[in-house]
Structure 1
Amino acid sequence: MSSAATGRRGADRLRELLPPLGVAALTGAVFAFVGTINPNEPGHYPTCPFLWLTGLYCPGCGTLRTIHALAHLDPVAALGLNPLAMAMIPFLLFWWGRWVVRTLQGRPRRTTLAHPAWLWAFIGVVMVYWVVRNLPFGAFLAP
């Protein structure tokens, strides 16, 4: 095999790695930005539209403050602000890592993220979390 063919394959593999590396770079930029500009101070970020309209917390309420806490290496505070977001981090890291490994192995991208039953279960968990965090006994889930 010629070195030109090997070099071309290496360039193709690098090109295929650009999307997962781009996601990692974007995630790092978000953490850097939110870690620098404190969401606990009013006026830096818009209010959650659902919270503004209804006075109730959506499943994402507290996520900016969770990211800020994680950027400042305070996972306990982050867990108290949005436990669902914290629970999702290992899954997101797993899926991203699987994407990178499959790309490095030259395996084709999967067109499905997970089995539909798992996705429906996740939607169910989000819906239950959404309701429970707005009930009096679920106040510990509120940001």
Structure 2
Amino acid sequence: MTGAPVQGPPPAASRPQGRTPRRGLALLGPLGFGAAAAVGAVVVAFVDPHEPGHYPTCPSLGLTGWYCPGCGGLRMTYSLLHGDVAQAFGMNPLIMLMLPVFAYLWVRWTVSAARGVPMRSALLRPRVLYAFMGVLGVYWIVRNLPFAQALAP
């Protein structure tokens, strides 16, 4: 059979330089997440979660009476945005200590998306994630015990 030869993708040297559409789409995730976090921070900065009635009650606290690992997170954010680091730490020490890790992971995600490569980080390996889930579970229990009231918001 004769016919037109099947052409594959052009060689790398003849491809246009610069950002490919796929990289632009890959950036939508981290940039959208960052924008949503910024909008959330602005809302929390102006609507004080220390005053009852502004935000819904934590479902875990409402159903069980136990503080979940995230309880106090909104008040922590409000205190941080208003420069009161000590009060923020008192609202949720675990999240406060994890903020630099979350920021690092977001920057890695953004840089990886901009480069068009998959994100790889030792912090995302299964062992590390399982250990983090274990820490969350222990924190959830311990912050509700009588001797650890300092961990309660």
TM-score interval, smaller chain = 0.7 to 0.9
- In the other structure, the counterpart of 2:3 is none
Q: Which has the higher helix share?
A: 1
Alignment of 1:37-48 (within 5 A): 37-48=47-58
| CA apart distance, 1:109 | 4.4
| 1:64-107 Cα distance to aligned partner (Å, 9 max, x none) | 10111122122221110001111221111111111112122221
What value does the CA root-mean-square deviation take over the aligned residues?
2.1
Whose radius of gyration is greater, 1 or 2?
2
- In the other structure, the counterpart of 1:70 is 80
The answer to whether 1:6 aligns with 2:17 is: yes
Unaligned runs of 5+ in 2: 1-12
- In the other structure, the counterpart of 1:123 is 133
Unaligned runs of 5+ in 1: none
Query: Which one-letter code corresponds to 2:102 in the other structure?
Result: L
Pick the aligned partner of 2:68 from 52, 55, 58. 58
Deviating 4+ runs (over 4 angstroms): none
- In the other structure, the counterpart of 2:108 is 98
| CA apart distance, 1:50 | 1.8
* 2: CA distance, partners of 1:133 / 1:73: 25
TM-score when normalising by structure 2? 0.81
| CA apart distance, 1:21 | 1.0
Taking only the aligned residue pairs, the percentage that are identical comes to 50
Paired residues of 2:108 and 2:119 also in contact (CA < 8 A): no
Paired residues of 2:44 and 2:77 also in contact (CA < 8 A): yes
TM-score when normalising by structure 1? 0.86
